[in-house]
């Protein structure tokens, strides 16, 4: 590496296209990431600052229903608003990459490699199911009480305490779109990524990296490691998202959080091509031999996913990829005692659409 400045990849948490960016987004990961990217560039470092929309999130489905539109139309209009806001703010991002066939191929290749290497496990799990709608519930489609802090939570992870709630762990689950629809439990066989198998590597990683983390995020990681690590869903019985390519789970989709790492690799590849730093392979800039400094910027509600799940997604590939040198985590902006939330329409918009 002698004779050249070390490259850097700065990733702001991938925004869900169920609305424009709000003030919490802009003042949190997007502004912070931009400041750090500018600092590195001012010091002569080649920097790629990027993100991409998280189209497969179930929050797109629930928000589209609330707004009386289709998920596809909501993604299209929200992506345009998000890109306009980033451009109006004057960030170093060169734009949002298209969620196209190259994106989907990057995601599918990433998970296919892990499947072929035997990293996934088949599990029969109990899942909440809306009887009248005939739909399995997860993340933005289900709400209830967090089993850890006993505060209201959506599925997947609690925004209050940050702890995960997978499968049937959410207390008194309700179907977000129709709370009157009876919710029962049904057993389904899915594929999972068993994080507990990576405990030793995780402990070693956090021992060397966590001192750079902010106290609240570091505390949450410590709490998660103090108990058995959960299995992460890889596939889920649903219809919105990328169809899972595995013979064991016909008719299922990839769990949206499984897309985050290959999505970020794809976004880096696309952004690099716009600024003349392109590589032929989509994951080129994330390869360990590229020796890039990798830094994430996200909110506290993403510590579990970006700080733990996504790290395991990289470790599962062996030594192929670099790992983040830091997770820079911001706290929530509150409005009337509640966090800013696009899915709940409780926020102050960035109003990028009115900036000229």
Assess whether pLDDT exceeds 90 at residue 151.
yes
What is the mean pLDDT of the segment spanning 11-26? 87
pLDDT category of residue 1 using cuts at 50, 70 and 90: very low
pLDDT tens digits along 278-298? 778 999 999 999 999 999 999
DSSP state of 30: I
CA distances from 169 to 54, 128, 130, 332, 351 (A): 25, 9, 16, 24, 37
User: The pTM is what?
Assistant: 0.91
Average pLDDT value for the chain = 91
Query: From CA 69, how far away is CA 60, in angstroms rounded?
Result: 10
What is the mean pLDDT of the segment spanning 218-239? 96
Query: From CA 247, how far away is CA 9, in angstroms rounded?
Result: 35
Phi, psi angle pair for 239, to nearest 5°: -125, -15
Q: Are strands 8-12 and 47-50 parallel, antiparallel or unpaired?
A: parallel
What is the mean pLDDT of the segment spanning 212-239? 95
Query: From CA 18, how far away is CA 67, in angstroms rounded?
Result: 10
∠ CA(321), CA(225), CA(219), 5° rounding? 100
pLDDT category of residue 331 using cuts at 50, 70 and 90: confident
> Which CATH superfamily groups domain 8-354?
HUPs (3.40.50.620)
Rg for the chain (alpha carbons), in Å? 19
Neighbouring residues of 91: CB distance < 8 A, sequence distance ≥ 6:
30, 31, 34, 49
pLDDT category of residue 274 using cuts at 50, 70 and 90: confident
- In order, the DSSP letters of 237-285 are S-SSSPBP--TTSTT-EE-GGGGHHHHHHHHHHHHHHHTT---SSTTGG
Of 58, 107, 91, whose CA–CA distance to 264 is shortest? 107
DSSP state of 80: H
Assess whether pLDDT exceeds 80 at residue 81.
yes
- Would you state the pLDDT for residue 334? 54
What is the mean pLDDT of the segment spanning 117-144? 97
Query: From CA 164, how far away is CA 141, in angstroms rounded?
Result: 15
């Amino acid at each position: 590496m002698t004779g050249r400045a070390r490259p850097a990849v700065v990733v702001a948490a991938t925004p869900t296209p169920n609305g424009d960016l709000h003030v919490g987004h802009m003042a949190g990961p997007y502004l912070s990431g931009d400041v750090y990217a500018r600092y590195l560039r001012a010091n002569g470092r080649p920097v790629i600052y990027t993100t991409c929309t998280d189209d497969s999130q179930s929050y797109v489905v629930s928000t589209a229903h609330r707004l009386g539109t289709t998920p596809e139309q909501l993604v299209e209009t929200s992506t345009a608003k998000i890109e306009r806001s980033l451009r109006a703010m004057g960030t170093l991002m060169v734009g949002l990459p298209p969620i196209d066939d190259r994106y989907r191929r990057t995601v599918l290749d990433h998970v296919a490699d892990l499947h072929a290497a035997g990293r996934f496990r088949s599990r029969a799990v109990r899942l909440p199911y809306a009887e009248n709608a005939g739909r399995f519930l997860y993340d933005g489609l289900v709400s209830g009480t967090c089993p850890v802090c006993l505060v209201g939570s959506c599925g997947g992870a609690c925004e209050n305490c940050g702890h995960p709630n997978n499968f049937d762990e959410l207390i008194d689950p309700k179907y977000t779109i129709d709370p009157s629809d009876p919710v029962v439990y049904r057993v389904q066989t899915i594929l999972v990524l068993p994080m507990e198998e990576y405990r030793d590597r995780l402990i070693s990683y956090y021992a060397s990296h966590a001192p750079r983390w902010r106290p609240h995020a570091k505390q949450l990681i410590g709490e998660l490691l103090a108990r058995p690590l959960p299995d992460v869903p890889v596939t889920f019985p649903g219809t919105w998202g990328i169809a899972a390519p595995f013979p064991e789970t016909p008719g299922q989709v990839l769990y949206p959080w499984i897309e985050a790492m290959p999505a970020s690799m794809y976004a880096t590849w696309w952004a690099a091509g716009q600024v003349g730093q392109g590589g032929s392979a989509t994951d080129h800039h994330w390869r360990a031999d590229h020796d890039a400094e990798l830094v994430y910027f996200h909110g506290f509600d993403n510590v579990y996913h970006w700080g733990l799940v996504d790290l395991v997604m990289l470790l599962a590939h062996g030594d192929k990829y670099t790992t983040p040198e830091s997770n820079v985590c911001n706290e929530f902006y509150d409005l009337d005692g509640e966090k800013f939330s696009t899915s709940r329409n409780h926020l102050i918009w960035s109003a990028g659409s009115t900036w000229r």
